[in-house]
């Protein structure tokens, strides 16, 4: 653990004071590398993607503890008010990141070989997790740091594809809109058709198992009295486990192709991330359930989230059992009121330490 003059909350506050929006994580990576060295981690390094990586402990069981260093843009004052800490990343996801760091250090003599990684660009293009995958590390278990609360284990995330839409028409004079087609109007009609497609893939009352299409960026027009001939937009497509990205993209491109003469619509997908759902009977899930019961005297909850995380990308390329876990009020993520309760943060460290102990016991039992 940290020294008497620097407790877990101090580590968190110091991490929050380092502004680290996506692609600007280097200062925080240096901070984590320094902390790892002081906490007893070995092979501490900054890799090609800017990830801060270190190893601790020994044994046949190999565990990855991975949190992301980057935040969304928008610097916030770091403030502690009684049992709450506010600041950019307080929830998403520096409190989970620091909890993983400290719990990993406490597992030095537990009989498990821990690799801690502070990853880059989780809020962006995922360069950090991609480098961790390319580096070839094989693990039995992997825990990813995201906010959900100390008594909640995240076992599923929807998948995601970013769609770039380009709509082209002839355009014309705004004084005669009946005579020309507007690229913006055509995009609006496309969006209406996509919302109908979204409804056809809805599971009533279950957002995790439903598909969603959300416009996030829209640009159209060149002058105040000219009908737009070009509209460009970005759509955020979220996918339930039952819908592979290839199928959804093909269906959306088919919907986009239902246009009249004189209208051209192109839909280009970005790199897809497939949905992931953990086996709720896995050793890793059971280890966390036991840890929550033992340390918090609370009933553990299994959570399936509608977002997407690094767990999705990693789980589809590695045979490790995976879950996501961490403190923080997730409803405040990406907001100006981002916060974590101190008790929740400290409890999560204790749960993580106990989960590692339980995992070692379960792995030994499995090997008998």
Spatial neighbors of 287 by CB under 8 A, at least 6 apart, are 355, 356, 358, 359, 362
CA dist list (Å): 341 to 28, 272, 346: 22, 34, 9
Position of tokens 């955020």?
236
Q: Left (φ > 0), alpha (ψ -120 to 50) or beta: where does 285 sit?
A: alpha
Among candidates 246, 266, 269, which has minimal Cα distance to 257? 266
Helix axes 26-39, 94-106, angle to 10 degrees: 20
**SS3 letters for 261-272?**
CCCEEEEEECCC
How far is 43 from 115, CA to CA, in rounded Å?
Answer: 10
Active-site residue flag, 30: no
Q: How many residues does the chain have?
A: 368
Check if the beta carbon of residue 114 is closer than 8 Å to that of residue 104: yes
Find the catalytic residue in 25, 55, 92, 122. 122
Which among 25, 55, 70, 354 is annotated as catalytic? 70
In sequence order, what DSSP letters do the residues of 83-127 get, joined into one string?
A: TEEESTTTTTTHHHHHHHHHHHHHTTTTTEEEEEEEES-TTTT-H
Nearest to 154 by CA among 6, 305, 43: 305
Q: Give bridge partners of residue 304 from the DSSP assignment.
A: 156
The residues facing 70 across adjacent strands are none
Is 70 assigned a catalytic role? yes
Identify which of 275, 242, 248, 246 has the alpha carbon closest to the alpha carbon of residue 194. 248
Backbone angles phi, psi at 79, to 5 degrees: -135, 135
DSSP state, residue 175: T
- For the annotated catalytic residues, the residue numbers are 70, 122
């Amino acid at each position: 653990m940290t020294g008497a003059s620097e407790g877990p909350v101090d580590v968190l506050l110091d991490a929050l004071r380092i502004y680290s929006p996506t692609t600007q994580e280097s200062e925080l990576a240096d901070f984590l590398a320094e902390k790892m060295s002081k906490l007893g981690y070995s092979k501490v390094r900054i890799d090609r993607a800017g990830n801060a990586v270190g190893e601790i402990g020994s044994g046949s069981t190999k565990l990855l503890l991975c949190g992301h260093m980057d935040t969304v843009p928008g610097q916030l004052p770091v403030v502690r008010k009684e049992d709450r800490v506010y600041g950019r990343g307080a929830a998403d996801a520096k409190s989970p990141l620091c909890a993983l760091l400290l719990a990993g250090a406490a597992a030095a003599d537990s009989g498990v070989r821990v690799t801690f990684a502070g990853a880059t660009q989780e809020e962006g293009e995922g360069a950090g997790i991609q480098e961790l995958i390319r580096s070839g590390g094989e693990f039995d278990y992997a825990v990813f740091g995201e906010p959900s609360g100390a008594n909640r284990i995240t076992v599923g995330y929807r998948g995601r594809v970013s769609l770039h839409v380009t709509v082209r028409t002839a355009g014309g004079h705004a004084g005669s809109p009946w005579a020309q087609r507007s690229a913006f109007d055509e995009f609006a009609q496309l969006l209406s058709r996509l919302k109908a497609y979204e409804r056809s893939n809805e599971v009533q009352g279950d957002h995790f198992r439903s598909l969603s299409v959300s416009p996030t960026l829209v640009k159209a027009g060149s002058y105040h009295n000219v009908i737009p001939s070009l509209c460009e937009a970005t759509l955020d497509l979220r996918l339930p486990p039952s819908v592979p990205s290839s199928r959804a993209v093909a269906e959306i491109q088919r919907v986009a192709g239902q246009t009249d003469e004189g209208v051209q619509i192109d839909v280009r997908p970005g790199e897809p991330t497939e949905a992931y759902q953990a086996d709720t009977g896995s050793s890793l899930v059971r280890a966390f359930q036991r840890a929550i019961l033992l340390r918090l005297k609370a009933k553990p909850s299994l959570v399936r989230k509608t977002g997407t995380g690094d767990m999705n990308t990693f789980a589809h390329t590695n045979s490790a059992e995976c879950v996501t876990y961490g403190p923080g009020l997730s409803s405040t993520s990406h907001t100006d009121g981002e916060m974590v309760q101190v008790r929740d943060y400290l409890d999560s460290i204790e749960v993580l330490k106990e989960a590692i102990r339980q995992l070692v016991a379960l792995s030994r039992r499995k090997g008998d």
